[in-house]
Amino acid sequence: MVVSGAALTVLGVATGEIQVGLLLFFIPYLYGSSWMGGLAILLVFAGLVVLILGRFTASVQEADGASGRTEQGMAKEKKEFGGVVLIGPVPIVFGSSHMAALWALMAAAAAVMLLLLVLLWL
């Protein structure tokens, strides 16, 4: 989906239906005047969501297989933490485990996307 969205974006830029620019010298933006722009952006975002969810479900399956289960089938409870520091567009992710860092990254991405949607609607 990401590749087809990028290809559609290139086609739209070549035909003049999509305009590309930079905001503050490093934030790219797209402006589409037809259905092609919307479809291209939708395909790219949907592809990124599928990639993130696919990696997340693979991590959950790995964690289920590697978790320390006792003989009665009960999992040991352990505390985990994670966080994200955004320095401009660069995220620095940390956590006590791979899953905690992944959860923190997904929460930060959701928060940034929600903030951008709110700012777009203002």
The pLDDT tens digits for 9-66 are 888 888 888 887 888 777 777 777 788 878 887 888 888 888 777 777 766 666 656 5
pLDDT tens readout for residues 70-112: 555 555 677 888 888 877 777 788 888 888 888 888 888 888 8
Rounded Cα gap, residues 4 and 92, in angstroms: 29
Residue 63 has what pLDDT? 60
pLDDT value, residue 60: 65
Per domain, the residue ranges of the chain are 1-68, 80-122
Closest CA to 44 of 34, 55, 30, 56: 30
The pTM of this model reads 0.46
The C-alpha atoms of residue 18 and residue 37 are separated, in whole angstroms, by: 6
